């Protein structure tokens, strides 16, 4: 299956800092749109918080679907991966998603280290 979404950013700390600002529940809903990514967390349908990362933050941002891509992801696992693998230096990140049933793949690059997380 072809990749439905591809994004690359030169400093993953931008994404990490945005995500950690809403870390009060285990799962988030990611909505990937032409304009950018919207990450939403809700607490029992009483409180809802969303953050938006515009597509122009990324130096590569491609979406192949006519419709928005929506999936649920473990917020804690996602932010911990970004923190562990991108804690020091100035790491870049490539995100890709093939579609329903496939994981969100992260490729995190430091100067001499390459980490692949799915």
Query: Left, alpha or beta for 72 (phi > 0: left; psi -120 to 50: alpha)?
Result: beta
Whose CA is closest to 15, among 73, 74, 95?
95
Its sign, for the CA torsion 73, 41, 87, 62, is: positive
CATH class of the domain comprising 5-117: alpha beta
75 pLDDT band (50/70/90 cuts)? confident
Contacts of 79 (CB under 8 A, 6+ apart): 16, 19, 20, 23
Summarize pLDDT for 7-18 with one digit per residue, the tens.
999 988 888 888
Annotated domain spans of the chain = 5-117
Residues 6 or more apart whose Cβ sits within 8 Å of residue 87: none
Supply the pLDDT for residue 86.
64
What is the per-residue pLDDT for 22? 84
pTM of the model: 0.83
- What is the C-alpha to C-alpha distance for residues 73 and 15, in angstroms, rounded to an integer? 15
């Amino acid at each position: 299956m072809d990749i439905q979404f591809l994004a690359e950013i030169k400093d993953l700390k931008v994404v990490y800092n945005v995500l950690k600002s809403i870390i009060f529940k285990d799962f988030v809903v990611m909505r990937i749109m032409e304009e950018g990514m919207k990450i939403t967390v809700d607490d029992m349908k009483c409180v809802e918080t969303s953050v938006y990362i515009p597509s122009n933050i990324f130096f590569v941002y491609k979406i192949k679907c006519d419709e928005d891509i929506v999936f649920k992801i473990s917020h804690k696992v996602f932010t911990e991966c970004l923190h562990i693998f991108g804690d020091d230096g100035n790491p870049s990140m490539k995100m890709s998603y093939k579609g329903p049933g496939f994981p969100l793949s992260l490729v995190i690059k430091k100067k001499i280290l390459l980490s692949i997380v799915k």
